[in-house]
Every structure is written in structure tokens, then in C-alpha cells.
Structure 1
Amino acid sequence: MPKPSAQAVAEWQHQKFSMFIHFGLFSLPGGVWKNERVTKGYSEQIRAHGKITKEEFHALAKTFNPEKWNPDSVASLAKQAGMKSIVITSKHHDGFAMFHTKFSDFNIVDATPYKHDVIKELAEACRKQGLKFGVYFSLIDWDFPGAMPISEHNSDSIPPKHHQLNLNQVEELVTQYGPLSEIWFDMGKPTLQQSQELAAMVRKHQPDCLLSGRLWNDQGDFAVMGDNASPDFRMGTLWQTPASMFDETWGYRSWQVRGDAKEKAKEKLTSLIKVVSAGGNYLLNIGPMGDGGIVPFEREVLLTMGSWFKQNGEAVYGTTASLLPEQTWGVLTSKPGKEYLFPLNGPVDGKLVLKGLQSKVTKAYRLSDKSKSLPVGQEHGEWKIDAGSLKSKALADVIALEYEGDLQYTPSKTLAAAADGSYALTSDDAVSYHSYSGHDYNSTKATRIKLEWFISQAPDGQYTLALQRLPTGQEATVKITVNGEATEAVLKGFAAQDSAAHITTPLLHFTLTTKAITQVEVTLADQSNPHKDLGLDGLVLRMKKD
């Protein structure tokens, strides 16, 4: 089955900041049913938590007329906020479609007085504004007779008739609404075959449309973290954090306590910075009101963030996670020739010590005032920037550091040679990279997909890398990459050996010449499933000069 092109993947990865929209029939009650607040669960799931019958919910559709919904205004707001794409709920768990599907009358065109295809009109508005466009699609459906009934967990199996409905409606979305940058599948517990068939349906019509990891069974192109969650482990695949304005709900809630807009903008911007600095994308949600209008508070939050992006956007767009080690004062992003420092944690005196950078720094300045250079110097091999001499008024401080030539740095973890000059590469000492994999929301967990080691100042010469230890029962065909040169090898577990033996099973031979840092990586050779766990617990490789 074809995968998205490298260009499509790169374009998705460089979006960084996008708008999520939870809008549907659930927006109309706004978290209130029969004059009572529904405090349980998210407000977009009010059909379940409010104990609303199917008949009552269908009757509600007859009054759903969101005349204040303006797709051009929404697209413009996203652009002003600094967002690069929009993803909107085409159909949430309640089964009400915001597009004109022919497979159910329970949709925005046939069941309401509004009569507009919301998905079609927003897709067109995004194209006019130069924004990418994607859709959310729930794999569960509380309205379809052939689907499983409402449950407490939403990780329901998908009966055959319901799966066919999903295939039919997804095909409508990928054939009638123009290019989609992503389909954000959600919830349910499909079989492997069902996940594969949905993926194949999308690939058939739009091979460059990326699929969310919540298609489950490792059929997605990018991993999706838990709601409002960021990984506390290093990611090695495409990934995204979905974020709501408030932890309590994604859909509109009329009685939500909203607080101060500037403080909320700072909170969400800080979360965005942490996600982007770790290599992820940030999908921030708004929940339009039942009349289609944007909540003024949410508009103000986005516009406040947009003002920050006008001055500081270069520290987010087009950046990658920095190769420099973790810093106590905050996080970094990187571009060729530049490091961007986000001192989220102080220090109070503004004197930043930058660990790991060996390149010569030529200039340091705040993005909020590029005309004023900050004092910068090197002491004991560490660069020090005095940011306290100028006080930043930015929502989040950003300091740009320019350096000469290619990035030269010291990794956070390097291996030392043993007494005999050899190096032990163990799974425990490796830098581990992960994906996020599962069969449903509740089974999803981190999977280790790459091991990486750095060796400092290894002498020039011919080397052998060998398998010294791998517990019995483990076996994997892996790709071993040394300074960019890759070799496939089969690793087979065996009974524990005397560690003094050092070389047991030679895997590859290579030459080192004038390399300050030697980098060794191990991944699975077969990358058809980039989320599959590498395993290899207890692995010991031995690198020794011939």
C-alpha cells in the first residue's frame, strides 16, 4: 500500500501549529440539557452524558441553524493566529454529519434548516486563505442502528455494517472535498483488517493524505498523544498533541469558566513551544457556539497568540528539535546556523548557560528586539548569554543564537572506552526513540523504535561491531548505521556469555577517520510498520578496534 510522499510528510511536519474545531449538533445545547448543566464528561458527548434519547437528539437537529458560522472568517482567524491548517469534526460520536452524506439523512443539509455543507464551505475557505485542510472522523456512531450502543469507554468494536458505513462516508470525504492534509480518526476498536481497509480507501483516492494514529493497529502515519498530553519520552516518528482550551471540554460549553485570555494564551503558547521543541505538532481546539459564532474569549486567545507569532514565528516554523542536550532553564528549536532559546524556567537573573554547543557563536538577540545584541561569551567550554540586561515584554521570551559553520555539539550522553579500548553499547545506555502504538485509546503505549549511541574521540582505524549479549528468545533483523553508513544484520538471542569475552558474533566492519563523535543507530530493517517495538531488551554490542 502506498505511503504519503516525502513532500506531503514534510509539509505536514512543518505545519507546527493548527486549528482543531469541534463543531456539530452537540454545540447547540452547549453543555445544558433540560435546563440542567451536564457536568459529566466532555460537552461534545452530551448525547451520552445527558442521557438524551435518539428521538430527542433528532428533534434538536430541526432547530440547528448556525447562521453566525462564517467559514471565511474562521479561516482568516486561523491564519491571524499563526496556524497553518484546520481540522474540523466531519462526524463526531453522536453520528451527526457536518457534510452532505448520502448514507444517512442525519446530516447538516438534510436534517436542519441550515442546509449548508459545512465541510465543503470550510474546505473552500481554507484553500482561498492558503491553509491546509483536514477532517476529524469518529469510528463510533451512536446514531447508526448497526453500530454498538453507547458505552462508558468509547473503545467499541465495529460491526460489519457499521464498518461499511465508515468506508462509505470516508470515501465521500476523500473524493468530494478536495485535497485533505489529514484525516483525524478517533476512538472505537477496529480490527486490524478494518483499520487496513480504511487506510487503503484513503490511499486509493488521496495517497498524500496523512492518517492519525487513532486509526489504530499501527495503520496511522502520525502518532497522536492523549488529550492535552505531551510525551515524557523522546519521539522518533511524526507526532501531534491535540489540545483543548479547557481540560473539561472540546465542544462548546456555555457555562465554562474561562478566566483571563492573556493568561490562557500564555498557557497554550507554552504548551505549543514544549511540543514543537520536542519535534511535534500542536493542534489547538476551538468550540463554536450553537449559532455558529466563535466564542469571543477563544478568538481573543488566538489573536493574542498570533501577535506573538508575528515577531517570533521564525523560532517555530521550519525548525526542528535541537540536537543540543536538555537545558535546565527551558527548551530549544533549531535551524541551520541558529539555535532558538526559550527560557521558560528563568533563571531570574537572565544569565543563561548553554550546555553542549561547541560552534562559535557570532550573535545573540531577542526576536522581539533584533536591533539590540545580548552579551555572549564562552567560559569553561560553555556559552553564557546575559539576557537580564534587557527585559522582554513578549508573551514568551525567545533568544536567537547565531553560530558559524555546521553545528558542532557534545551529545548529552557519550560512551567511554573500557580498559582494553573497546566500547560497550548497551540498550540501557542508549538514547531511545519511541512511537505511540495501540489497538484502541486505552491500550496505547510508547514503543521503542530506535537505539542510538554516541562515542567521543574514538581513535582512527578499523573497527568491528559485534553482538556480545542478547537474552535467549529475542531475534530481530536490524539496520545498524554507523556515521550514516547502514548495514543489515540478524540479531539472535543466546544464553548469557562471559562479558570478558567481548567479541562473540561479528556484525560489521568499518573505518573511523578524524571523527570527533561517532554515532551508532539500531532500528528494525523492515520499516513497513514504523511504530513496531524494536525489543532487544538486554542487548549489548561491542565496538573494538581491530
Structure 2
Amino acid sequence: MPAAAQQTEAFRSWHRDKFSLFIHYGLYSELGGVWQGKPVKDGYSEQIYSFGIRDMSQYEPLAQQFRPDRWNADAIVALAKKAGMRSIVFTSKHHDGFCMYHSAETPFNIVDATPTRRDVMKELSDACRRAGMKFGVYFSLIDWHFPEATPISDHNADLITPAHHQYNMRQVREILTSYGPVSELWFDMGSLSPEQSEELYRLVHELQPDCMVSGRLGNDCADFAVMGDNELPTEPIAFPWQTAASLFPETWGYRSWQERGTIADKANEKIEELIRVVCRGGNYLLNIGPEGDGSVLPYEAEVLTTIGEWLALHGEAIYDTERSPFGELMPFGEVSTKDSVLYLFIRPDMAGREVFVPVNGNYLEEVANLSTSGTLDMVIRKDGLRIKMPTVMPRRHLVLALTFSRRDFVLTDKPLACPLNVANSTRIY
């Protein structure tokens, strides 16, 4: 992972943002996880071609009925901002090879193959630019529609032939030259040679030097690592990384028969994941899957809105922060930091109990409770703080901001984790 990229303002801006929207929208959305009247329960619904069809002559005609009539790019950007997100990453092309932008490389794209002839990716990039929202692109390195890429495998780690690699190069070039500034290019799947990864990495930075490249390009050609799908690390990690998570781990693309549960429970689950990711040093990319007509499910919109309401109160402990300065997890919850401020995310099950924080209390200047207006009993010592939790805690977390007069307030000598397997970006097949 090139260290030089981590010194740029573009990288620092990406790292500070912390929370982004992933959108899986494609031809597969028209099916909603159903083929020939039956739910396809194997695999993700965006991979329904691989798990349920395997016949392109049956899949291609779906484009003739694919009408994104309810796709509203401005409304989606407004929803992302309401959720407290700082960027949007959109699926330009998934494994099925159907391009959600106007590609000159194949007629199998949303403009040339569908009745409405709308370039929804262009609409989204324009809407992001109008609203001051960063725009990123997902790009599948495997392509089940490209002749050189068949037959396909079940593990999505197919080798990329020379002809297929050049096809990918041309499509990446047209995306990076026709859709405005791209904040990150989220490559996915395939098994590339070191030379192929390096060539794509160089191409991205030649065309858009500020575009961050995801670790799934492979062969250490990346600006940040990517955990496995929905994967959360077990401890703080000392290099830049991202977790991509879906509202429903079973699928990324729209699934009509998905069991969704309550909005409150799902929002709590995703807030918990956001906290864990940020406090362990990463960025959180949370996915929704619009229906075939482009509409966002009201359930998903409500979950995002609920997360945004929480961030409106607690965002200072998330945005622009760094991982926990402690080399191990704290027993009471999670920790982030910003300059000389330490943020504590204390779990509800700590109600009535004492929390110990290994910091030099002599440097403590202020304690702010971001969750409630109540005061806390505290014992301040040079060898640590002891804070008594109230008997009634907030439903999610009690968030405290501890301000110190110096930055060297932490008492720990355990190094942070740097597991080697993450550098090449774990894939979930």
C-alpha cells in the first residue's frame, strides 16, 4: 500500500469522512431476488445471474423492461446528507456486466439497452456535485457478459485474461474522464496479476490523482485496505482501512422477500457497527439496494434518517477522529480521539458500574456528556480516571468527550495491531 498516497490532502479528507453511502443498483434490481416466480436463496441477489440463471440469452432481455422511472438522484443525495454521510459510492458495473452508465465499450448498458435511455450514474454524479457530496464508483473486475470472461466460476475470483484486462482499462478510463471528480474507485473481485493491478492503479492516478483506490484491486496496489463483506476487526488497526456493510448481510442488491425487522433495531445495529469501525481506525461504507424502478425502500430511508439523528448529537466523536489510542479494547466500550480530546462510547450494560480509563488525570481539563445533561461522579488520578455510570443509561451509548491540556495523556505501552492479511483485502465469495 503506497505510503505516499497517505500524505495527500485527498487521502486525509477521505480518512476524515468516516461514513459513506454504498448503492447497489443494477439490472439485477429488476428481479428483486426472484427468478421464474421463485426466490433464489443462494448467494447475494445482485449475483442472481450466477446462482439462478446462467444463461445470458435469458438475462439480457430484462434490460428491455428495466425502467428507472423513480430514480431521483437529488433525493438520494439529500437522504445521504440527512444520514450524516460524506460521500456516495455507486455501482457503475457489477459482475453481470450491465453498465449503469453510458459505456461506449458495450451496448449492454442502461442508455443503449433500456427504454428510458437514462444515464443514472451521470445524474447521480451531477447531483453530488451540486450538493457538495463526494462521488465514488464501484467497478467489478469480473464481467459475466464479456465473452473473454466465460465460463464463469462460483467463487468470483476468476483470472482476468489479457483481452478482459484491456476492456477493464478502457471502461475505467471512460468513467474517470466522463463523470467528473471521483473520490474513490472501489474495485471488486477477480484475480489479477501484479502487472494488471499495477497498470490499473497507475491509470486511476494518472487520470484523477485524488481518487482513492480500494484494496480489492489486489497485489498491494491500493490507497486503503478493505475488510471482508460486513467484517468488523477485533482490535484497532494502524493503517487505513474500510468496512463495507449492507443493511442486510444476506444481500446487497434489492431482495423483495428480505426479512427486515424493526427500523429501531436495524438503526441500532448499524450505529453500533459505525462506532466500532471508526474507533478501530476505519471508515464505514453502508449499503442500500434500490428497487428496479430506482426507488429507495421507505424502510431503508428511515434507518438512514435515524442514524443521521444520532450523528447530529454525537457526530463530533465520529467525524475527523482517529482510532483508539489504546493498544487493546476497553472493557466498557469503544474509544476515538481527536487532537487532545478522548471520546468514550460506553455501552448501556455499564449502567451503575464504574468505568476505568487509563489516562493521566492531571492533564484533564473538561468532561462533556454528549448523550445526556446529567453529571457523573468521577475520581481523577494521575494513574487513571474512575467514572461512575448512572443507573439509567441511553438506549445506544453514553458518549463522553474528555478534553486534556496535552496530547500525551494516554497511559499504555501495548502496540496497535497491524494484521498482514488485511493489507491484501479479504474477499468474501
Partner of 2:366: 363
1:47 deviates by 0.7
Compared CA separation, residues 37 and 431, structure 1 to 2 (3 A): closer
Alignment of 1:293-442 (within 5 A): 293-325=295-327, 326-344=329-347, 346-369=349-372, 371-378=373-380, 381-388=383-390, 391-393=392-394, 395-413=396-414, 432-435=417-420, 436-438=422-424, 441=427
Partner of 1:284: 286
Q: 1:350 to 1:162 in 2, by over 3 A?
A: same
Q: CA deviation at 1:358?
A: 4.3
- Counterpart secondary structure, 1:14: helix
CA displacement, residues 64-100 of structure 1 (integer Å, 9 cap, x when unaligned): 0011110000000000000000001000000000000
Give distance in 2, aligned partners of 1:10 and 1:438.
21
- The SS at the match of 1:271 is helix
Q: CA deviation at 1:204?
A: 1.2
Measure how far apart 1:322 and its partner are.
2.7
Please say if residues 20 and 87 of structure 1, whose CA atoms lie closer than 8 Å, have aligned partners that are also in contact: yes
Structure of greater Rg = 1
What amino acid maps onto 2:376 in structure 1?
L
Tell me which moved more, 391-400 or 57-66.
391-400
Which residue in the other structure is 2:115 paired with?
Answer: 113
8 Å contact 1:140–1:158 — kept in the other structure?
yes
Aligned residue for 1:131? Answer: 133
How far did residue 273 of structure 1 move? 0.3
Q: Give me the whole-angstrom Cα distance separating, in 2, the residues matched to 1:126 and 1:8.
A: 17
- How big is each residue's C-alpha offset from its partner over 1:228-247, in whole Å with a ceiling of 9 and x where there is no partner? 00223542221000001111
Q: Judging by fraction of residues, say which structure has more helix.
A: 2
- The question of whether the paired residues in 1 share the 8 Å contact of 2:83 and 2:309 is answered with yes
Deviations 1:452-491 (A, max 9, x none): xxxxxxxxxxxxxxxxxxxxxxxxxxxxxxxxxxxxxxxx
Shift in alpha-carbon separation, 1:343–1:12, aligned structure 2, 3 A: same
Q: In structure 1, the residue corresponding to 2:233 is in which secondary structure?
A: coil
Say if 2:229 is the partner of 1:231: no
**Alignment partner of 1:353: what SS?**
strand
Q: Does 1:261 align with 2:263?
A: yes
Residues 234 and 434 in structure 1, CA contact (< 8 A), matched pair in contact too: no
| Cα gap change, 1:210 to 1:302, in 2 (>3 Å) | same
| Secondary structure of the corresponding residue to residue 59 of structure 2 | helix
Contact 1:85 1:131 in 2 (8 A): yes
Alignment length (residue pairs): 425
Match of 2:150 among 145, 148, 151: 148
Q: What do the CA deviations read for 1:201-241 (whole angstroms, capped 9, x no partner)?
A: 11111011110000001111100000000223542221000
Give unmatched runs, 5+ long, in structure 1.
Answer: 414-429, 444-546
Q: Are the counterparts in 2 of residues 43 and 249 from structure 1 also a CA contact under 8 Å? A: yes
Matched residue, 1:506: none
Q: CA deviation at 1:439?
A: 8.8
CA contact (8 A) 2:237 2:416 kept: no
Q: Give the TM-score of the pair, scaled to structure 1.
A: 0.74
Does the 8 Å contact 1:272/1:282 carry over to 2?
Answer: yes
Asked if structure 1 preserves the Cα contact closer than 8 Å seen for 2:348 and 2:398, the reply is: no
- On the 8 A contact 1:147/1:161 being kept in 2, the answer is no
Summarize the Cα distance change of 1:22–1:254 in structure 2 as closer, same or farther, 3 Å threshold: same
Q: Is the 8 A contact 1:359 1:405 kept in 2?
A: no
8 Å CA contact retained: 1:132, 1:180: yes
Amino acid at match of 2:9: Q
Write out aligned runs for 1:10-159 (5 A). 10-159=12-161
Name structure 2 gaps, 5 residues minimum: none
Partner deviation per Cα, 1:178-222 (whole Å, 9 max, x = no partner): 111100000000111111111111111101111000000111110
User: How far 1:397 sits from its partner (Å)?
Assistant: 2.5
Q: Is the 8 A contact 1:244 1:285 kept in 2?
A: yes
Task: Give the C-alpha shift of residue 409 in structure 1.
Answer: 2.1
Distance 2:222 2:115 in 1: 36
Report percent identity of matched pairs. Answer: 46
Larger deviation: 343-352 or 291-300?
Answer: 343-352
Structure 1 counterpart SS, 2:268: helix
CA apart distance, 1:372: 4.2
SS of residue in 1 equivalent to 2:336: strand
Q: Is the 8 A contact 2:360 2:382 kept in 1?
A: no
Offset of residue 5 of structure 1: 5.7
Q: Per the alignment, in what secondary structure is the counterpart of residue 328 of structure 1? A: coil
Choose which of 171, 174, 179 in structure 2 pairs with 1:172. 174
For 2:418, give the aligned amino acid: Y
Displacement after TM superposition at 1:59 (Å): 0.6
What is the identity, as a one-letter code, of the residue corresponding to 1:368?
S
Q: What is the alpha-carbon distance in structure 1 between the residues aligned to residue 362 and residue 339 of structure 2?
A: 12
Contact 1:308–1:394 (CA<8 Å) still a contact in 2? no
Normalising by the residue count of structure 2, what TM-score does the alignment of the two structures yield?
0.94
1:270 aligns to 2:272 (yes or no): yes
After superposition, the Cα gap between the structure-2 partners of 1:89 and 1:277, relative to the gap in structure 1 and judged at 3 Å, is same
Other-structure match for 1:9 = 11
Separation in 2, partners of 1:278, 1:259: 28
CA contact (8 A) 1:359 1:407 kept: no
More strand per residue: 1 or 2? 1
CA RMSD of aligned residues (A): 2.0
Residues in 2 aligned to 1:12 and 1:440: alpha-carbon distance in whole angstroms: 21
Residues 228 and 428, structure 2, Cα contact 8 Å, conserved in 1: no
**What is residue 222 of structure 2 aligned with on the other side?**
220
Mapping of 1:180-199 within 5 angstroms? 180-199=182-201
* Counterpart contact for 1:216–1:439, Cα < 8 Å: yes
SS, match of residue 255 in structure 2: coil
1:378 Cα offset (Å): 2.1
Q: Distance in 1 between matches of 2:40 and 2:407?
A: 57
User: Does the 8 Å contact 2:183/2:211 carry over to 1?
Assistant: yes
- CA shift at 1:365, angstroms? 3.1
Q: Report the Cα distance in structure 2 between the residues aligned to 1:334 and 1:440, rounded to whole angstroms.
A: 27
Matched residue of 2:17: which SS? coil
- Deviation of 1:394 after TM superposition, in Å, equals 5.4
